[in-house]
Amino acid sequence: MARRMRAAIFSEYGGPEVVDVRDVPVPEPGPDEVRLKVEASSMNHLDLWVRRGLPIETPMPHIGGADIAGSVDAVGPGAEDVPLGVRVVVDPSLSYGWYDEDGRGPSFANEKLRLIGEHTQGGFAEYAIAPASNLLELPAGFEATDAAAAGLVFVTAWRGLITRGGLRTGERVLITGASGGVSTAAIQIAKAAGAKVYAVTSGPANVERVSELGADVVYDRKRVDFSREVWMDTSKRGVDLVFDAVGELIWPQCLKALAVGGRLVTYGATTGARGTTELRVVFWKQLSILGTTMGSPGEFRTVMRMVFDGRFTPIVQEVLPLAEARRAHERLEAGDVFGKLVLVP
């Protein structure tokens, strides 16, 4: 009889109510894959979009969870060099070379970027499958909950600010949605890069938390027009870079907050994908609008080793049992999270 495991799974798209924790078969690793005994897996907004049905290639019934940490439990053909029992964190990106590498020629179709937990089954379960090439060993004693909370958000922030945004020492950067997982990572990376950090969040409690995290100036978007405040607080110059995933709701303000020659780096659209762009602002100030998502395997390993070394710290609001996966979806969807929620089997 096939082994069974507990998993947070949904069989139809919809709200948090479609998520159910039940018994399913334990998966078997395929070629070049390993099976992990999951120790922790963290929530991301990606999980909300997948549950609502935004992707069109999600395998159903579906187990979410792109961020996974655990120990290797079994290996498939071609992955025999991976030691059983080794503790690892998983790079969530599959086929990131679609962005960074030359293809094999016009007769070959390049494999597009896919994500664990979106295009494959994920880590909200007792066991999960991952490619052997996506594993990064955890240092002895490193907490699985911290590793699972760090992966997606730190690689996204690192690529967006450093690789795509080209953030330099002495520059001014505005980080929106500053209570979110990627933004809490971005504040730390920007400060380490020597930038002055302006941040936008909502509510007095979040303003205080973002300040404690290291942001130099924090605005409550519910109380002030942050673009006007940035303009005044920078002596009518603006910031050099805006790092944004809020999208439609505040897009015009993000453009207004930029200095001449500034860069807006967008990595998401949590409030909608149709930002109104005043083109005269773009060409008159000679702005650059840059897109970014996730990060390459090299960037993942670089920034995660900085997390391991203690230079960056993932912000975990709460660790919840897998049985409360539906409540985790509800809380993240309600915006009631500072940093990350982590699920443990």
Interval 259-292: pLDDT, tens: 999 999 999 999 999 999 999 999 999 999 999 9
Residue after which a domain boundary falls, among 250, 267, 291: 291
Answer yes or no: is 160 within a domain: no
How many degrees, rounded to 5, is the angle at CA 20 between CA 152 and CA 147?
A: 25
Bridge partners of 137? 88
Report whether pLDDT(2) > 90.
Answer: no
User: Is 176 exposed, middle or buried, given 0-12, 13-18 or 19+ CB atoms closer than 10 A?
Assistant: buried
| Number of domains into which the chain is organized | 2
Rounded Cα distance, 96 and 227, in Å: 34
Binned at pLDDT 50, 70 and 90, residue 339 comes out as very high
Same domain, 143 and 119: yes
Answer yes or no: is 238 within a domain: yes
Same domain, 287 and 301: no
Residue after which a domain boundary falls, among 275, 291, 307: 291
Answer yes or no: is 156 within a domain: no
Rounded Cα distance, 270 and 64, in Å: 18
Same domain, 194 and 330: no
Same domain, 94 and 75: yes
Same domain, 276 and 324: no
Answer yes or no: is 316 within a domain: yes
Range of the domain at 247: 166-291
Return the closest-CA partner of residue 301 out of 132, 154, 183: 154
Helix or strand or coil: residue 30? coil
State mean pLDDT over 307-325: 98
Same domain, 124 and 138: yes
State mean pLDDT over 200-206: 96
Half-sphere exposure of 145 (CA within 13 A, CB side): 15
Classify strands 135-137 and 87-90 as parallel, antiparallel or unpaired: antiparallel
- DSSP characters for 2-14? --EEEEEEESS-S
Answer yes or no: is 161 within a domain: no
Bridge partners of 87? 71
CATH number at residue 300: 3.90.180.10
State mean pLDDT over 109-116: 90
Same domain, 274 and 299: no
Question: Hunting for tokens 């900085």 — which residue is that?
Answer: 306
State mean pLDDT over 224-235: 97
- Token digits for 199? 């941040």
pLDDT of residue 179: 97
Same domain, 203 and 327: no
Same domain, 69 and 136: yes
Q: What is the CA radius of gyration of the chain?
A: 20
Same domain, 128 and 217: no
- DSSP characters for 259-289? EEEEEEEE---TT-S-----HHHHHHTT-EE
Return the closest-CA partner of residue 158 out of 304, 317, 337, 311: 304
Q: Give residue 209's identity as a one-letter amino acid code.
A: R
Reported in sequence order, the residue ranges of 178-257 that DSSP labels E, i.e. its strands, are 196-201, 217-220, 239-244
Residues sharing a CB contact under 8 Å with residue 89, sequence separation 6 or more, in sequence order: 67, 68, 69, 135, 136, 138, 144, 147, 148, 150, 151, 304
pLDDT of residue 315: 98
Q: Give residue 308's identity as a one-letter amino acid code.
A: F
pLDDT of residue 118: 96
- Token digits for 339? 């940093």
Answer yes or no: is 159 within a domain: no
- Token digits for 48? 């909300």
Phi, psi at 164, each rounded to 5°: -80, -45
- pLDDT tens digits, 249-261: 999 999 999 999 9
State mean pLDDT over 97-104: 84
Same domain, 137 and 171: no
Report whether pLDDT(1) > 70.
Answer: no
Question: Hunting for tokens 């960037």 — which residue is that?
Answer: 299
Same domain, 240 and 212: yes
- pLDDT tens digits, 53-65: 987 789 999 999 9
Report whether pLDDT(141) > 70.
Answer: yes
Under a CB-based contact definition with an 8 Å cutoff, are residues 317 and 42 in contact? no
- pLDDT tens digits, 45-93: 999 999 999 877 899 999 999 999 999 999 999 999 999 999 999 999 9
